[in-house]
Structure 1
Amino acid sequence: MKQGKLYLIPITLGDSAPLEVLPISNKRAIEEIDHYIAENEKTARAFIKRLSSGKAQGDLHFEQLNKFTEPTILPEFLNPCLEGHDIGLMSEAGCPGVADPGADIVRIAHQKGIQVVPLVGPSSILLALMASGLNGQRFAFNGYLPIESADRKKAIKQLEKKSREEDQAQIFMETPYRNDKMVGDLIKFLHPETMLCIATDITLESEQIKTRSIAEWESNLWDLNKRPTIYVIQA
């Protein structure tokens, strides 16, 4: 029996119309796939409906993958591929497998010899770097920084030092409701000449992306509260 494939299906970064930021080939893939692995079945179904309104929701099968999913059952999620069915892997926003638990499924697919097919779509991490004007040849993504103040200060200082010593842009993110605290800490702990890009609401109508020195940011901040944001620094 011919195996199915694992399609990595990007999701829009907000409420923008899917076909404004996704290629039509993604719509075609969803129209052919009935088996999905997603962080949240409800939001995944809503996205599929927006992208392909005529698709029969009753035919869809979902496995839920999030931080509460028991790792030992992940291989079972790929059984439809072994039975000849394609599977679509989705995150809540952006590209699955990047800053996303879907990477575990992709690793298991490779182990099982299942073909992995990444589809084109928005990555807030890459889009922020593209728009930053900072080093796109040497960069690192660092996920979330520590929450505790002393640990966060240490992490910020370490990233700045690494950026300076290795000429490397450092990318990271924060939970939206903690953005204001993050920016305050960056201004407080980074050198005034260190460059900081703040990229907010990427691909949405409310998108704001600016790169300034820390000294310039002190008097030029916008409201970041509860808005998805990526940060890029370069010393």
Structure 2
Amino acid sequence: MSNIPSVVVDAATLYIVPTPIGNLADITQRALAVLNQVDIIAAEDTRHTGRLLSHFGIQTRTMALHDHNEQQKADQVVAQLTEGKSIALVSDAGTPLISDPGYHLVNRCRQAGVKVVPLPGPCAVITALSASGLPSDRFSFEGFLPPKSKARQDRFTELREASRTLIFYESPHRIMDSLADMLAVLGPDREVVLARELTKTFETIHMAPLGELVAWCQADDNQQKGEMVLLVAGLRKKDQDELPAKARQALALLAKELPLKKAAAICAELYDLKKNALYKWGLEHLDA
């Protein structure tokens, strides 16, 4: 343990400690020092974290804090902190609280006036975004997609008009179904990046129009395995046609019953838009 640096670890403090998402060399020197010196490590899976600690020769006591017991154990952990214990919170991989346990504990600590110290470190969201080639000036992390197709399509519909880059986590056994639902809502031309097995041996970061990405994944089962991040390009202004989605939907419905010019005129009045812009959009996007 002589190669682990020494840092000052404060009593009565919760440390948020990111751990590697794949490559163990990505752990920071400060993270090692904190894990080595705190009184307790609260871990999502003590067996998983135990392997990490063993690798670095760290013998700090661990306790389990996961989705199923966090709300019940949070008060117990806060009590230990207020008694002067120093505790590190870790998840199985990456930064705690980012689609991982920890929110309830940190919230209780804030309410109780307990000091919370975050350490910077590995995070799959930021790692994927930095290498994606998609705009990174504005983005939103949307977490894991819903498990059911209807809910997934509703989520994609809700986000379809967003101009920022969208980032999702997805599991390997649902990736093809999720891509199919995304294709149904966003269409084949939207740029999407699949970042898979980041920092690991078989790391893959592949960008393509959604229709091509689906075919690429279907053709290679290996691209359907491992930890996955999906990044979706925001809707570009020129793709929005400067027409609100509701106006386009209304025009499409009206055009089924009325001549396009008449449908465009009605929509223009309803949504305070230019009739010619609606008519042009209809000519380009609606079946004659």
- Decide: shared fold, TM above 0.5: yes
Change (3 A) 1:119 1:39: same
Change (3 A) 1:70 1:233: closer
1:42 is matched with which residue: 42, 47, 54?
47
Aligned to 1:180: 176
Aligned to 1:191: 187
Higher helix share: 2
Aligned to 1:117: 117
Structure 1 or 2, whichever has the larger Rg, is 2
**Sequence identity (%):** 26
Q: Distance in 1 between matches of 2:224 and 2:40?
A: 36
Contact 1:191 1:214 in 2 (8 A): yes
Q: Distance in 2 between matches of 1:116 and 1:34?
A: 15
Aligned to 1:106: 106
Amino acid in the other structure paired with 1:66:
H
Amino acid in the other structure paired with 1:177:
H
Q: Distance in 2 between matches of 1:45 and 1:94?
A: 16
Q: CA offset at residue 61 of structure 1? A: 4.1
Query: How many equivalent residue pairs?
Result: 222
Contact 1:95 1:123 in 2 (8 A): yes
Question: Are 1:5 and 2:5 counterparts?
Answer: no
Question: After alignment, is 70-79 or 102-111 more displaced?
Answer: 70-79
Change (3 A) 1:127 1:108: same
Partner-residue secondary structure (3-state), 2:216:
coil
Q: Distance in 2 between matches of 1:42 and 1:96?
A: 17
Q: Distance in 2 between matches of 1:176 and 1:89?
A: 27
Q: CA offset at residue 49 of structure 1? A: 1.4
Q: CA offset at residue 202 of structure 1? A: 0.9
Aligned to 1:224: 223
Aligned to 2:34: 29
Partner-residue secondary structure (3-state), 2:224:
coil
Q: Deviations over 1:144-194 (max 9, x none)?
A: 222222222222232222x2xxx2111111122222222233334322221
For normalisation by structure 1, the TM-score amounts to 0.85
Greater RCO (CA < 8 Å, at least 6 residues apart):
1
Change (3 A) 1:149 1:218: closer
Aligned to 1:80: 80
Contact 2:43 2:62 in 1 (8 A): no
Partner-residue secondary structure (3-state), 1:78:
helix
Q: CA offset at residue 133 of structure 1? A: 2.1
For normalisation by structure 2, the TM-score amounts to 0.71
Contact 2:44 2:91 in 1 (8 A): yes
Aligned to 1:138: 138
Aligned to 2:240: none
Q: Deviations over 1:23-62 (max 9, x none)?
A: 21111111112312111111122211113x1x33xx5141
The 5-angstrom pairing of residues 134-173 of structure 1 reads 134-161=134-161, 163=162, 167-173=163-169
Q: Distance in 2 between matches of 1:139 and 1:192?
A: 21
Contact 2:176 2:214 in 1 (8 A): no
Partner-residue secondary structure (3-state), 2:195:
strand
Q: Deviations over 1:91-145 (max 9, x none)?
A: 1111002112212111111222222111122111111122222232221111122
Contact 1:11 1:91 in 2 (8 A): yes
Contact 1:171 1:231 in 2 (8 A): yes
